[in-house]
Structure 1
Amino acid sequence: MRLAENLPPNVELLGEVPEGRLLDLYARCRGLVCTALDEDFGLTPVEAMAAGKPVVAVAEGGFCETVTPETGMLVEADAAKIAGAVAAVSADPGRFRDACLARAKIFDRSAFEEQIRRVVHDAS
């Protein structure tokens, strides 16, 4: 059976989304849920945080490096725990905004370039 046929009416599968639409979706959402297992880094949480949106993610892989208690919640890969975290974050998603914006900045390209410069400088 196809996944799309069993979705509730408030869920829509979008497939690949152009960047312009993606920015609009992040601007309008209340937060982001990431349930990918074994994700090495995962750019999606950082994109959401750059829009000031909190993240609920499974406590695995790269999500443990990007999501903090100030920017959302990390939970076990368990449907009930994920649902509980979504409910908790949804109660007041705005409280995460400033921390999300600040956290996303450390993953900015210019921040990465500066870190590389420092490593090269320190190694020489």
Structure 2
Amino acid sequence: MDILITIFKLIVGLSLINVWILQRNKPTRWRGGDAQNITEEFQVYGLPLWSCYVIGSLKVLLGIALIISIWVPVLVAPAAIGLAVLLLGSIVMHLKIKDPLYKSFPAFLFMVLCISIAFQGQLV
């Protein structure tokens, strides 16, 4: 189980870093509405530009914390729960603009992984 949780941490952490740093200006099939990059996506959601930077910074920092939590266990709960909340917000935004459900899939999957990480060992 520890190996699986470690894999989950790496998948979520590295994926969020990839989306918010490497892929931020690239179109993907998961972007809200017809947005071609992250800032356009936040405009589609009706959110102010500053919220893109705040949420992006939080997701990257919590993603890094999730990876570091492999060696520093005290970071597990805050990073995983914080990310789960932010990912729930992503799902809500997709639903708000009536995106097809598949666009919410990555956020939903990562939210489930974060909940699994946060409550590891307590679900058995």
Report the TM-score when normalising by structure 2. 0.31
More helix, by proportion: 2
CA radius of gyration, larger in: 1
Greater RCO (CA < 8 Å, at least 6 residues apart): 2
